[in-house]
């Protein structure tokens, strides 16, 4: 039986970043109750996802160099963060191409930087709040003026619409699809968060709605 009260993390891989110090690192950032499971291979993780809800997968650098998009298909609401000991731009790009949502450098970085990386990944994929310990919360978008919320809503309508158009035009085997899918995923998640923060859900047009015909005509 799945427990929806707990925040669930899977540690995927067997390299140094996922042993020893990771336990203390998790206790620094995440509030209890917390469930942590360790997996050595992607097939193990996929089997685990069939019977467990997982909020976040932390992947070591070696494992993050392999294809991770099968996890997106198996569990779309699971965020994936690649862990590195030292940030390298080429490694970061490779990890993102392979399917991680964010790359987090364990050393050197501050607790605040690590917390922001975690929150970005969670906000993009499942939007769960209250997972980080107090004092690490993200800025509250509800404080934004209604006009700003309205303008952001309009921008997201365009972003999401053009992402859908691009995906419709790209072949299924195109290497560009990964980037387009990530844009659409982030845009739709942002639209959901924005709608939830709109006062009274005041009837603003949905940013994730199909693109307006006039925009589609211009893009053709």
Give the tens place of pLDDT for each residue, 33-61: 778 888 889 999 999 999 998 988 999 88
CA 5, CA 19: separation in Å to the nearest integer?
A: 26
Instruction: Identify the CA nearest to 53 among candidates 100, 5, 8.
Output: 8
Average pLDDT, the chain: 74
CA 28, CA 2: separation in Å to the nearest integer?
A: 25
Q: May I ask the CATH class of domain 7-125? A: alpha beta
Looking up tokens 């690649």, which residue turns up?
Answer: 82
Under 8 Å CB-to-CB from 25, ≥6 apart: which residues? 106
CA 42, CA 59: separation in Å to the nearest integer?
A: 10
Residue 97 has pLDDT above 70, yes or no: yes
Per-residue DSSP letters for the chain? Answer: ---TTSEEEEEE--SGGGSTHHHHHHHHHBPSSEEEEEESSHHHHHHHHTTS--SEEEE-TTGGGS--HHHHHH-TT-EEEEEESS--HHHHHHHHHHT-SEEEE-SS--HHHHHHHHHHHHHHHT---S-BPTT-PPP-GGGS-HHHHHHHHHHHHHHHHHHHHHHHHS-TT-TTHHHHHHHHHHHHHHHHHHHHHSGGG--PPPTTSPPPHHHHHHH-
Structure tokens at 23: 């336990």
Query: What is the spatial order of strands in the sheet that 34-39 belongs to?
Result: 34-39, 7-12, 56-59, 79-84, 102-105
Q: What is the pLDDT of residue 121?
A: 82
Give the tens place of pLDDT for each residue, 119-178: 878 877 877 666 677 654 444 444 566 777 777 878 888 888 888 888 888 888 887 887
pTM comes to 0.59
Give the tens place of pLDDT for each residue, 178-189: 778 878 777 776
How many residues would you count in the chain? 220
Instruction: Identify the CA nearest to 198 among candidates 155, 160, 152.
Output: 152
At 3, the pLDDT band (50, 70, 90 cuts) reads very low
């Amino acid at each position: 039986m799945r427990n929806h009260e707990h925040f669930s993390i899977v540690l995927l891989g067997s390299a140094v970043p996922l042993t020893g110090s990771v336990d203390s690192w998790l206790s620094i950032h995440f509030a209890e109750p917390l469930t942590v499971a360790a997996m050595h291979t992607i097939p193990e993780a996929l089997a685990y996802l069939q019977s467990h809800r997982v909020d976040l997968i932390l992947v070591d650098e070696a494992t993050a160099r392999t294809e991770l998009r099968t996890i997106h298909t198996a569990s779309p609401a699971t965020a994936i963060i690649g862990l590195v000991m030292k940030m390298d731009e080429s490694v970061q790009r490779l990890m993102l191409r392979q399917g991680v949502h964010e790359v987090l450098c364990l050393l050197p970085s501050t607790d605040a930087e690590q917390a922001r990386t975690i929150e970005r990944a969670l906000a993009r994929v499942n939007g769960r709040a209250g997972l980080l310990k107090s004092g690490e919360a993200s800025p509250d978008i509800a404080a934004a003026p209604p006009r700003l919320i309205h303008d952001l809503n309009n921008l997201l309508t365009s972003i999401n619409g053009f992402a859908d158009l691009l995906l419709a035009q790209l072949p299924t085997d195109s290497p560009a699809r990964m980037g387009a899918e990530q844009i659409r995923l982030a845009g739709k998640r942002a639209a959901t968060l924005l709608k939830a923060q709109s006062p009274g859900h005041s009837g603003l047009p949905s940013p994730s709605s199909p693109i307006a015909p006039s925009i589609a005509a211009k893009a053709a």
